[in-house]
Amino acid sequence: MSNWPTETKYISHATTRIDAPAKLTGKARYASDIQAEGWLYGMILRSKWPAAKILSINLEAALKIPGIKAAVTVKDGPRTIRFYGEELAAVAGTSKQACLDALRAIEVQAEPRHDFVVNEAEARKENAAQVWEGSPNSSKPQVRESGSVDTAFPECAAVVEGFYSTPIQIHHPMETHGNTISWTDDGVKAWASTQGISSVRDGLAGALQLNHSQVRVVTEYMGGGFGAKFGAGVEGILAAKLSKAAKAPVRLMLTRFEQALAVGNRPSSFQKIKIGATADGMLHAFEAENYGTAGIGGGGDGGGGGGGADITLPYLYKVPNSRVKQSVVAVNAGGARAFRAPGNPPASFGMESVMDDLAVKLGMDPLEFRLKNDPNPIRQREYKLGAEKFGWKQKYSKPGSSPGVVKIGVGCAAGAWPAGGGSSDTQGEAQINPDGSIEFRLGVQDIGTGTRTVIAVIAAELLGLKPEQITVKVGDTNYPPGPGSGGSTTCPSISPTVFDICQKALAQLQTQSGLADARGANWFAACKKLGVSPLVVHGKWQRGLSADRACGVQFAEVEVDTETGLVTVKKILGVHDCGLIINKLTLESQINGGIIMGMGYALYEERVMDDLSGVMLNPNFETYKLPGIADVPNIDIVLINMPERGVIGIGEPATIPTAGAIANAIANAIGVRVCSLPITPAKILAALGKVPPVTT
């Protein structure tokens, strides 16, 4: 169906990032590197109470601190605070220290409230403190039902039940949220660390009551967002206000501490699941009740879209008789935002866990059981390819049968990403100069995935040039509009757009130059015939060159020390598809990153809130634990190239199955299931019955 070339030199091959030298030498300017003429530091004062009534905020003393040029409040007059870390005010000054001193000088008159609730189970209790006065924390369950669940369970040959939970995960991109903003009479210029320059432009314009043409957003390079960086954010609006008041550009980048509190997270899930299959191993009945929190908003998104607490069950499986109840619960803690494959990693973990348990009960190999029940032909192919490469048949044995103290286990799991297609609004342009140089300009941003390289690879392929001959400019709202980088849509949005630009450029160049084929060897001769005026070609996304719905399965092999509970992941194999592969190298990078992030979700990461004080206890990398290089195993990647489908995004699918695969490998190793992420030594030892009862 797709018109992509079949014989390729660059597309589907491996090209080193064209901006690798800039990144490695420090020449690449990230949002946090920007030093605009006369810039000031900006910093935010945050609530030290999880719930409070703010009566007044007095900035006078702060403004008297030497070096402080401006101070603003988030909102004048009384207001209600609903989580620890909520923004109150901000200052701008000539040094970090001046700002820190100023924050401490701000006088906040407040009535702290002692009735707050920060954990889900507490918040669901009848007499729990209400996050929103007068309305219950828990929403009424939404029920989806098909078939006849109550009659179906008795018809099953095997039924298992479990309660699976996943924690709040924090995005923690290496570059924190923030921007440098300059607000002058000419308008606003923002250098933002964002996944969506257009959405930040629109957000700033709306909040500051400017028209869109008065706001320009630039993101040359940014250090990751994972879904949490689409909006202008409170920090963006504060930086703008400070800039206006101080008449100078203000750089306001959050600290790691602030990053943990107030700019998004993955909602938790608590999944009570019952599932049954017939004697021939076909899923027959399913019942689930799930709740989770997205923070103060209960189930709602904390900004940017896609950050809700609902998950899709029974996930990628089709069960003829199914009843699913979903509810959400509000707590006094920072709100959720879209997080790499929203809703999918928790759903995959819950479902893939219960699938393994049911396979065991049926006496079936879990992989065979999946092949019987997974309706998707691509995943069927991936499971078979993966099993062969992983050596599943040789490695799989009955749960708990591994001998000795340190036990070995294997597991697998799958993902289904419903999006990943292109945005039809994407546009771009290329300027071809008489000297043969060519520059592409797209109002998209590179969130670290290799967007520039994708553009260069496609252009080089279609124009018969080398990737390094292509100049790529992205990350500026002055360029033709591009998509926000979310939903794994960037690559399938820009690839067809670049295709269109190249087609049009060649057609026009050939007409103007009189050469029948302007590509490759003829390129420079053709360009020379342009005379003195460069050729500027505008293109847009075209149908038929991209698709959506990537699959992906992963296999994990682990070692579990049954005396200490330590889990060592020995190997992960990911088998993934994303239609036509544009650049293998950056694609594999995405999958590596997704798997490592999935490992963190499986074994280490968790927001810990304290019931009594209402604060987050681990707003740092000391106790909010992320996988380090010593924790990461060999990662093998098998790619299925499907040019006939066109381009599909991979960013999100890659992280979905990892936690389920690791959890299943652990259960296979030790013979009992740990139903709660992260799977820590403490939980392993508890599952093994080795933790003594506590009498206090």
Partner 1 sequence: MKAFEYATAHSTASARELVAGNGAYLAGGNDLLGLLKEYLVSANILVNIKSLPGLDKIERGEKHWSIGSLVTVAQIEDDMEIKKVFPGLHEAASDVASQQIRNVATVGGNLAQHSRCWYFRQRDVPCLKKNGDLCYARNGENRYHSLFTGNPCISPVVSSLATIFTSLDATAIVLRDGKEIRLSMAELYQRAWENPLAHNSLNHGDLILRVEIPTARNRSAYMQVSDKHAFDWALVSCAAAAEVVAGKLKSPRVALGSISPVPHQVEAANHFLDGKVLDAATATQAADLILKDAKPLEHNAYKMPIAHALIRRTLLKLKGTA
Interaction site with partner 1 (CB under 8 A): 48, 84, 97, 100, 563-566, 568, 603-604, 608, 610-613, 615, 617-618, 622-623, 625, 627-631, 680-682, 685-686, 690-694, 696
How many whole angstroms separate alpha carbon 637 and alpha carbon 629?
18
- Between 82 and 244, name the residue whose CB sits nearer to partner 1: 82
Q: Shortest gap between Cβ of 265 and partner 1 (angstroms)? A: 18
- Between 150 and 611, name the residue whose CB sits nearer to partner 1: 611
How many whole angstroms separate alpha carbon 417 and alpha carbon 385?
20
- Between 522 and 613, name the residue whose CB sits nearer to partner 1: 613
Q: Shortest gap between Cβ of 617 and partner 1 (angstroms)? A: 4
Q: Shortest gap between Cβ of 678 and partner 1 (angstroms)? A: 8
Q: Shortest gap between Cβ of 54 and partner 1 (angstroms)? A: 16
Q: Shortest gap between Cβ of 568 and partner 1 (angstroms)? A: 7
- Between 44 and 283, name the residue whose CB sits nearer to partner 1: 44
Report residue 186 as tokens.
């000419």
Q: Shortest gap between Cβ of 690 and partner 1 (angstroms)? A: 4
Q: Shortest gap between Cβ of 131 and partner 1 (angstroms)? A: 19
Nearest CA-CA partner of 62 in 96, 105, 99, 100: 105
How many whole angstroms separate alpha carbon 367 and alpha carbon 389?
14
Distances (CA, A) of 356 to 115, 147, 668, 672: 42, 24, 9, 11
Q: Which residues pair with 556 in a beta bridge?
A: 411, 572
Q: What is the 3-state secondary structure (H, E, C) of 21-88?
A: HHHHHCCCCEHHHCCCCCCEEEEEEECCCCCEEEEEEECHHHHCCCCEEEEEECCCCCEEECCCCCEE
Q: Shortest gap between Cβ of 11 and partner 1 (angstroms)? A: 39
Q: Shortest gap between Cβ of 115 and partner 1 (angstroms)? A: 18
- Between 486 and 565, name the residue whose CB sits nearer to partner 1: 565
* Positions of E strands within 245-317: 250-253, 269-277, 283-292
Return the amino acid letter for 100: L
SS3 496: helix
- Between 575 and 663, name the residue whose CB sits nearer to partner 1: 663
- Between 277 and 569, name the residue whose CB sits nearer to partner 1: 569
Q: Shortest gap between Cβ of 564 and partner 1 (angstroms)? A: 5
Q: Shortest gap between Cβ of 692 and partner 1 (angstroms)? A: 5
How many whole angstroms separate alpha carbon 250 and alpha carbon 241?
9
The CA R_g of the chain, rounded to the nearest whole Å, is 27
- Between 519 and 570, name the residue whose CB sits nearer to partner 1: 570
- Between 100 and 157, name the residue whose CB sits nearer to partner 1: 100
Distances (CA, A) of 394 to 383, 390, 664: 15, 9, 17
Q: Shortest gap between Cβ of 111 and partner 1 (angstroms)? A: 17
- Between 514 and 692, name the residue whose CB sits nearer to partner 1: 692
Nearest CA-CA partner of 416 in 293, 577, 285: 577
Q: Indicate the Cα dihedral angle 204, 208, 210, 211, nearest 10°.
A: 30
Beta strand 470-474 with 438-442: parallel, antiparallel or unpaired?
parallel
Q: What is the 3-state secondary structure (H, E, C) of 205-220?
A: HHHHCCCHHHEEEECC
DSSP 655: G
Half-sphere exposure of 395 (CA within 13 A, CB side): 25
Beta strand 553-561 with 406-414: parallel, antiparallel or unpaired?
antiparallel
Report residue 189 as tokens.
């210029």
